[in-house]
A and B are shown apart, each in its own frame.
Chain A
């Protein structure tokens, strides 16, 4: 994502002034004072009025804001879900300080998708303050979801091609992840909670049907997630540690390592919606000391949640190493997350995803 010039970040275009949203007074939404002096004018400024979505946007867009206040991009419930899973006390002030310093910037207000770039990447108006109905992919979605999903999808991981939906269809995130999904998480507490949306079969309805000419689909349908066969190598990360800079006082992080993997693990989230026995798994950058700058033992039951997580890599291909032959997977220990590939200190945590017995090779 190309950085914006400082002036460009706050420049208001003439056409915004004639747009519907341009009819409101600046101070009505942003506060501040109507004076020429820059410092005085910005006194009490509310840079992102959509931080209070129901008041700022809900008057006209109540259908969206009424559910968005509880959506995952607003509540960041996924973070809290993972803290709780590892035994954290969510009332602990140290944990909350850590969250406010390092995690809360990933919150996305209405404005951070429809007016400006997200704060986590420095903000800046998208289009002269014009409101953009469909958020631009690289300046909003992958501005935050860039290091894993964005790089996979657009083929930025060296040596690995981008997702076929991007390469061949130039599809944008919003083509699958619709506004309804973004605005309403339907009570989910993390992105793999509840119904599987979007579903590959929403478009590829023939998969597994009587007219499907690919017999492997019917054979593996409820055993494997689509990504097991149709995704390729993706990145995993280890040990992100957060702290405050002694020189600037700003929050900072350090991730120990990032590396490429493709491992099939047991599905730790097996349910009616996700019945698969096997799914790809990705190592997330957590370790028992990730938050130790803020306090001891904040994740008191670290081993209660896996560090290799259910994942849905965004680098889908029709043909992959797994689709070449049956024995690309069957009998191939290298492609499964077996115990020898897990750090000894994480074996207990990852018991739900470690594959003990690899499916036997089949005769061709």
Chain B
């Protein structure tokens, strides 16, 4: 009986070790960690270190960021941005 238990425990350890070894390394790499960071904070335009993912992250962030939504949208700004008031009555060299 003890032998059977020892064999069972040994098998269990072997299976767990094999399972861990098969875990994708990406779980501890920065890429995945940073992608998960992107979603929850609507106030921060999160980005990743890698350029390709950075674009994706920015797009995601911008959907939750009203400032960035407008200020990165040239077509929208062309419609709504206004000229600053310019003082035109001064005469001579300033």
Of residues 1 through 21 on chain A, the ones whose CB sits less than 8 Å from some CB of chain B are 5-7, 9-14, 17-18
Which stretch of A250-258, A288-296, A318-326 is in the interface?
Answer: A250-258
* Known pairs A122-B84, A245-B87, A255-B91; A7 contacts B43 (CB<8 A): no
Which stretch of A24-32, A68-76, A160-168 is in the interface?
Answer: A24-32
Of residues 36 through 71 on chain B, the ones whose CB sits less than 8 Å from some CB of chain A are 42-45, 47, 51, 54-55, 58, 61, 65-71
CB pair B81 A248 closer than 8 Å: no
Assign chain B's interface to a size class: 35 or more
CB pair B93 A147 closer than 8 Å: yes
A258 to B85, CA, bound (A): 26
Interface presence of A237 (CB below 8 A):
yes
Complex interface: chain A residues within 8 A of B78 (CB): 5, 7
Complex interface: chain B residues within 8 A of A148 (CB): 93
The residue in B61, B82, B84 that gathers the most chain A C-beta atoms within 10 A of its C-beta is B84
A258 to B67, CA, bound (A): 45
Identify A11's interface contact among B47, B72, B85, CB under 8 A.
Answer: B72
Complex interface: chain A residues within 8 A of B47 (CB): 17-18, 22-23
Within the complex, the shortest CB–CB distance from A347 to chain B, in Å, comes to: 24
CB pair A237 B89 closer than 8 Å: no
CB pair A248 B89 closer than 8 Å: yes
* Known pairs A34-B43, A122-B86; A41 contacts B66 (CB<8 A): yes
Identify B82's interface contact among A6, A24, A35, A257, CB under 8 A.
Answer: A6
The residue in A17, A24, A129, A240 that gathers the most chain B C-beta atoms within 10 A of its C-beta is A17
Complex interface: chain B residues within 8 A of A13 (CB): 72
Secondary structure of the B side of the interface?
loop
Q: How many residues of A contact B (CB 8 A)?
A: 46
Interface presence of A38 (CB below 8 A):
yes
Complex interface: chain B residues within 8 A of A247 (CB): 89
Complex interface: chain B residues within 8 A of A26 (CB): 65, 67-68, 71
A250 to B82, CA, bound (A): 18
CB pair B77 A253 closer than 8 Å: no
CB pair A12 B58 closer than 8 Å: no
CB pair A32 B94 closer than 8 Å: no
Within the complex, the shortest CB–CB distance from A153 to chain B, in Å, comes to: 16
Complex interface: chain B residues within 8 A of A9 (CB): 81, 84
CB pair A255 B93 closer than 8 Å: yes
Interface presence of A327 (CB below 8 A):
no
Within the complex, the shortest CB–CB distance from B72 to chain A, in Å, comes to: 5
Of residues 38 through 64 on chain A, the ones whose CB sits less than 8 Å from some CB of chain B are 38, 41
Identify B81's interface contact among A7, A24, A25, A257, CB under 8 A.
Answer: A7
* Known pairs A11-B71, A17-B68; A250 contacts B87 (CB<8 A): yes
A245 to B58, CA, bound (A): 46
Q: Which residue of A lies closest to B54 (CB)?
A: A18
* Chain A to chain B contacts (Cβ below 8 Å), 22 pairs: A5-B78, A6-B82, A11-B77, A14-B58, A17-B58, A17-B68, A18-B47, A23-B45, A25-B43, A26-B65, A27-B67, A32-B67, A35-B66, A41-B67, A41-B70, A237-B92, A237-B93, A245-B89, A250-B85, A252-B90, A253-B91, A254-B90
- Besides the contacts A22-B47, A28-B43, what 18 more A-B pairs have beta carbons closer than 8 Å? A6-B77, A6-B84, A9-B81, A11-B71, A13-B72, A14-B58, A18-B51, A18-B58, A23-B45, A25-B65, A27-B67, A30-B67, A35-B66, A122-B86, A245-B87, A255-B91, A255-B92, A255-B94
